[in-house]
Structure 1
Amino acid sequence: MPSMLQVMSKGAPLSTLLSRFKNKMQTQLPHSYCLFIVGDKHCLQWRLQYTDSINESLLGANGKLVAVPHALITFAASPSSPKRHDINIQHASSWSLWSSFFDLHQFTDASMVSVSDGQDSIYLMLVLQKKNTVLEGDLMALALDSYAAWLKAAFEREKADFLLLEDSHRDPITGLLRRYSFDNSFGIVLKDSRRHFQRAALFSLRLLSTAKVCNTELKVLADVVRDTVRENDLIAHYNDRELVMGIRIQHLEDADIVAEKLLKTLHSEQFSDNTLIRAGLSIGISFYPEHSTLDSLYQAALFAAETLKNRPGYRIEFHGECYQSSANLYSL
């Protein structure tokens, strides 16, 4: 276990760890044959992690298991019983789908352990033994427990890596991007816009409420903003009282549409009890390529929002002036 934990602590990929566990178990159980099987959480789809000359007879033309014995399915579907040992498997009706496989290799006993990865998959190790080399129950239980412990530790490491990555990129309160992640991502949008001669808009959404920000209410607001735009648009939690949004647009009036849709949604009765939303937003909008850098876009959007003087609504910055809508940009 110490050597396994050391490998995990160094950040070895999950595939590397699983392969290492497989080799370790086969070394510890030299007179047994181990099958490593992965099933989905609904126990409908099954595959072998590793194939060889022995188990290939269990596979179909597509490389998937042709059939899965009922004993395996019921075991995988019972997380409260992570270990199981069956004898006389070559004659058991619950294993009948693999009876010819057992007869061919003279397997008589099956020991199993299962571990869920906490997401969508169940990992099973099936240890098949022959009658004359069957291990004592306590020794097999020790081997199964070791394998389960290694798998659980590996999955915890994967989960920790994911959470650390998410936490470094997203604000845990709102689920929106942190400022530096937004800046990096929107920088890519600007590069693409230059390359393909496209437009982009930056929104500064300033909270007008002067009360202490309630995290629950802020999360509701963040969800509303996220629902207003497309899935590939970018939204960040810049600071306590400001959200920033970057979107690709085809026409200047697209920005008006987004701002008006957002303000209309926030005026809905369903948010009447949310004091943060009820206080409203001052929205400032700026455009690329009128401003070629993120910093100049942000300063322009901030300037536009400030011209509202803490009143709800939106203003558009365009060539140094602020307008109520894009329809006014070229009016004389």
Structure 2
Amino acid sequence: MRSRVAYLEKERDFVKNLYCDMPQMLQVISKGSLLSTSLNRFKNKMQSQLPNAYCLFIVCDKECLQWRLQYTDSINDRLLNSNGQLSIVPQALITFAASPSCPKRHDIDIQSASGWKHWLPFLKDHTFSDVSMVSVSDCQGSIYLMLVFQREEVRLEGELMALALDSYAAWLSAVFEREQADYLLLEDSHRDPTTGLLRRYSFENSFGIVLKDSRRHFQRAALFSLRLLSSSKVNDTDLKLLAEVMSDTVRDNDLIAHYDERELVMGIRIQHLEDAEIVAAKLLKSLNSPKFSDNRLIREGLSIGIAFYPEHSSLESLHQAALFAANSLKNISGYRLEFHGECYGSSADFYSL
């Protein structure tokens, strides 16, 4: 009975210490503190919670090819090579990290386990007999691992260790969830949720940077006004598919925005005037694919007007010129280029007599 009471008192004190600063922890997470700040706080918390154990914090990529220590000290520096990198990773640790469906694991007799042989000098130097591990994915391609090494004579009961690991995983997951929420809120403020394209003000800010860079480096840019020819009510599903086709057609760093109900705008960097024609022709070819025959919005086509920088020095004048070129098609699918106040079917006609 005394032994049972002693264990319950130990368990009570452990749980009390584990959760005593939970309100402060939640407040830090809710305020969206820096990831590094939260990680440092969690590290200090676990090391104080497990005074008779040694905590090792590691990050690896989801392919388990690149590994690094989050923190170095006089104990774990034995694991690093002359370049300060984690040189060898035990197979047992690789297997664990590659198994997200099993986020916790406990290995005993690790000094004699083949899966830990690469770290045997480290384990023997510090007389570590077993290790408890937990892994948490940040959903951005990285896996965060905490390894708790223990010595046999001061080993913590399994239930208490599991409670500590679960708490650490819950705190870390909460931080990653908060970061993901911040990212989604930022994306929603910049992008149209229907199409995934930039909102007008975000496009204007981003294209303003393109124009500044173009002035600084004497580069060219082109602005496209893409008018939807369909007179029917715009269907969100059809519009989203059109946006996806446009995004697939251009480069990742090109800009596409949803301006209003029947106009999309695209800005690209170019080297030569004919580069804009190539993009327009490629887009129209993609939209003419038979697989889009059921999409009324795509089937009825686009009028594309194109204007150029430095012929127009501001976004407003570029947009007006591109819209003028698009309207010159008079509701016919295709593209026209505006150049010094005139509309042309090809840049080859710019200088013809």
TM-score after normalising by structure 1: 0.92
Task: Confirm or deny that 1:102 pairs with 2:123.
Answer: yes
1:225 corresponds in structure 2 to: 246
- Aligned 1:237-252 pairs, distance under 5 A: 237-252=258-273
| Cα gap change, 1:289 to 1:51, in 2 (>3 Å) | same
For 2:330, the aligned partner's letter is: K
Q: Where do 5+ consecutive residues of structure 2 fail to align?
A: 1-21
1:87 corresponds in structure 2 to: 108
For residue 331 of structure 1, report the CA deviation from its aligned partner: 4.2
1:202 corresponds in structure 2 to: 223
For residue 30 of structure 1, report the CA deviation from its aligned partner: 1.2
Q: For 1:269-319, what per-residue CA distance to the aligned partner results, in whole angstroms no more than 9, with x for missing partners?
A: 232222211100011122222322111211221122222222212223333
| Cα gap change, 1:282 to 1:88, in 2 (>3 Å) | same
Task: Confirm or deny that 1:119 pairs with 2:140.
Answer: yes
2:10 corresponds in structure 1 to: none
| Cα gap change, 1:330 to 1:102, in 2 (>3 Å) | closer
Task: Confirm or deny that 1:42 pairs with 2:63.
Answer: yes
Paired residues in the alignment total: 332
- Root-mean-square deviation over aligned CA pairs: 2.1
For residue 188 of structure 1, report the CA deviation from its aligned partner: 1.4
Query: What percentage of residue pairs aligned between the two structures are identical?
Result: 76
| Cα gap change, 1:324 to 1:71, in 2 (>3 Å) | closer
1:139 corresponds in structure 2 to: 160
| Cα gap change, 1:125 to 1:253, in 2 (>3 Å) | closer
Q: Where do 5+ consecutive residues of structure 1 fail to align?
A: none
Three-state SS of the structure 2 residue aligned to 1:127 is strand
| Cα gap change, 1:331 to 1:13, in 2 (>3 Å) | same
Three-state SS of the structure 2 residue aligned to 1:36 is strand
Partners of 2:310 and 2:87 in 1: CA distance = 58
1:313 aligned residue (300, 324, 334): 334
1:77 corresponds in structure 2 to: 98
Task: Confirm or deny that 1:271 pairs with 2:292.
Answer: yes
For 2:323, the aligned partner's letter is: L
Three-state SS of the structure 1 residue aligned to 2:112 is coil
Three-state SS of the structure 2 residue aligned to 1:44 is coil
221-230 vs 145-154, which deviates more? Answer: 221-230
2:257 corresponds in structure 1 to: 236
For 1:205, the aligned partner's letter is: L
| Cα gap change, 1:250 to 1:87, in 2 (>3 Å) | closer
For 2:228, the aligned partner's letter is: L
For residue 10 of structure 1, report the CA deviation from its aligned partner: 1.8
Task: Confirm or deny that 1:186 pairs with 2:210.
Answer: no
Partners of 1:36 and 1:64 in 2: CA distance = 14
TM-score after normalising by structure 2: 0.87
| Cα gap change, 1:74 to 1:325, in 2 (>3 Å) | closer
For residue 181 of structure 1, report the CA deviation from its aligned partner: 1.3
Three-state SS of the structure 1 residue aligned to 2:153 is helix
Q: For 1:157-192, what per-residue CA distance to the aligned partner results, in whole angstroms no more than 9, with x for missing partners?
A: 121122122222222333322211110111112222
| Cα gap change, 1:161 to 1:87, in 2 (>3 Å) | same
2:192 corresponds in structure 1 to: 171
For residue 211 of structure 1, report the CA deviation from its aligned partner: 2.0
Partners of 2:143 and 2:157 in 1: CA distance = 26
For 1:36, the aligned partner's letter is: F
Partners of 2:183 and 2:47 in 1: CA distance = 30
Partners of 1:75 and 1:264 in 2: CA distance = 48
| Cα gap change, 1:264 to 1:72, in 2 (>3 Å) | closer
84-93 vs 156-165, which deviates more? Answer: 84-93
